[in-house]
Amino acid sequence: TGASKTQAAAEVDAAIDRWVWYAGWADKITAVAGAANPVAGPYFNFSTPEPTGVVAVIAPDSPLLGLVSVIAPAIVTGNTTIIVASEPAPLAAITLAEVLATSDLPGGVVNILTGHRTELAPWLASHMDVNAIDLTGVPDEHVQDLEEKAAGNLKRVHRPTATDWTADPGTARMTAFLETKTVWHPVGV
């Protein structure tokens, strides 16, 4: 990408830290996003987060740290992903795909595509088997068209307002790809 050796090493270190940070949420996100709800009656009421399903992600042009920052929150919450790699700098995504293919990650959890966003994004937005789409890497002039295509099958659409990849990621990206299931259970019956 033209970065110096020092800058590249810093981005790799930040990406590794980001993977570790999100991995730490794997057994905690249910406790944070779920709840035991108080109800007036002889019932227990629990809300638990569940994965949305297949999440399409249009990756940002931040080749490694941005890529990791959009993949990790989607998969740590139990989703599978289809990633459209950064168009001007796809090498980091291609290399990451090789690393993931030889890791303990089950096959099919992360699927990385290279190509033109303007060709791939509309298909992902309108595809009936894609349950959510992250428009992080989409230019502003294409967002409305993709949101309209996604609305055709009630797809969740995530469009973050700020993308400072070096900032604390928070939980918003993880919870964007969760659905809440609420269960009622009688007490004392």
Cβ distance 69 to 170 under 8 Å? no
Q: What would the pLDDT profile of 11-44 be if each residue is shown by its tens digit?
A: 999 999 999 999 999 999 999 999 998 888 888 8
Question: Using one digit for the tens of pLDDT, what is the confidence trace for 165-174?
Answer: 999 999 999 9
pLDDT tens per residue across span 98-135: 999 999 899 999 999 999 999 999 999 999 999 999 99
pLDDT reported for residue 108: 94
Residue range 56-74, pLDDT digits in tens = 999 999 889 999 999 999 9
pLDDT at 189: 62
pTM confidence score: 0.90
Residue 79: closest CA among 47, 59, 106: 106
Whole-angstrom distance, CA of residue 91 vs CA of residue 94: 5
Q: What's the mean per-residue pLDDT of the chain?
A: 93
Q: In the chain, where are the structural domains located?
A: 50-177
Q: What is the pLDDT of residue 188?
A: 76
Structure confidence at residue 85 (pLDDT): 96
CA angle, corner 35, sides to 135 and 163, nearest 5?
A: 25
Section 80-99 average pLDDT = 94
CATH code of the region 50-177: 3.40.605.10
Q: Are 54 and 131 in contact (CB under 8 A)?
A: yes
Where does the pLDDT of residue 2 fall: very low under 50, low under 70, confident under 90, or very high at 90 and above? confident
Split at pLDDT 50, 70, 90, the class of 7 is very high
Region for 105 from its dihedrals, namely left if φ exceeds 0, alpha if ψ lies in -120 to 50, beta otherwise: beta
pLDDT in tens, 143-185: 999 999 999 888 999 998 777 899 999 999 999 999 999 999 8
